[in-house]
Structure 1
């Protein structure tokens, strides 16, 4: 499993997320959207999963990117990840997964108090 840290998200249609890591073009062409998300409650990240034939890649969406994610949830736009050589990968099912997680985290102590409070303050206010 490799982690890809989103450094910024540009509003628009599509929303464009940029990562800090540089990937080889051959790797990026093999990546597929995983259509699912996880949460890192300790570090306040939403995580979108990408995959190829041999491993998973975690797209780390830190708390600093959440204001753009909140706007994205409210709009009918696509969300793409900018990879090597301007290669773009659409993060399919992101809105649905994000909505599910936000709804599930509300009032759910399993995600930890810190994560629950951060999600409530931004997404549910």
Structure 2
């Protein structure tokens, strides 16, 4: 069984997000993997939760903060209740995924276009 949690921005400078739901954070372990949900325009960080897993969703309105994570080459933090969890390998995973999405119609043209626009600074710097 999987649970899905959508983040909101808490502090753009510190790359901190929040999950505004009651979650048993002591059972959440960052899995270190980011995937794309191209149908719903989100990047999803995977977490282990005991015998289950959870998705932490980063939808399009927060992508500008994800861009800052890439620019600063830092992993963001998620606040869950009173705990802060560093999302290990987030920076590397997201960077690799954004480069893979660029020009790749398998993700759907609309999603590709949105990613290319949101992460243009990173994609331009890579050239």
Q: CA deviation at 1:76?
A: 4.1
Instruction: Give the TM-score normalised by structure 1.
Output: 0.89
Is 1:100 aligned with 2:96?
yes
Q: CA deviation at 1:19?
A: 1.5
Q: What secondary structure sits across from 1:51 in the alignment? A: strand
* Corresponding residue for residue 72 of structure 1: 69
Any gaps of 5 or more consecutive residues in structure 2?
122-127
Q: Where do 4+ consecutive residues of structure 1 move more than 4 Å?
A: none
Q: What secondary structure sits across from 1:12 in the alignment? A: coil
Instruction: Give the TM-score normalised by structure 2.
Output: 0.88
Q: How many residues in Structure 1 have an aligned counterpart in Structure 2?
A: 120
Q: CA deviation at 1:77?
A: 3.5
Following the alignment from structure 2 to structure 1, what is the Cα–Cα distance between the partners of residues 54 and 46? 6
Following the alignment from structure 1 to structure 2, what is the Cα–Cα distance between the partners of residues 31 and 60? 15
Any gaps of 5 or more consecutive residues in structure 1?
none
Which of 30, 38, 41 matches 1:41? 38
Is 1:28 aligned with 2:29?
no
Q: CA deviation at 1:9?
A: 4.5
* Corresponding residue for residue 89 of structure 1: 85
Q: CA 1:69 to 1:9, structure 2 compared with 1: closer, same or farther past 3 Å?
A: farther
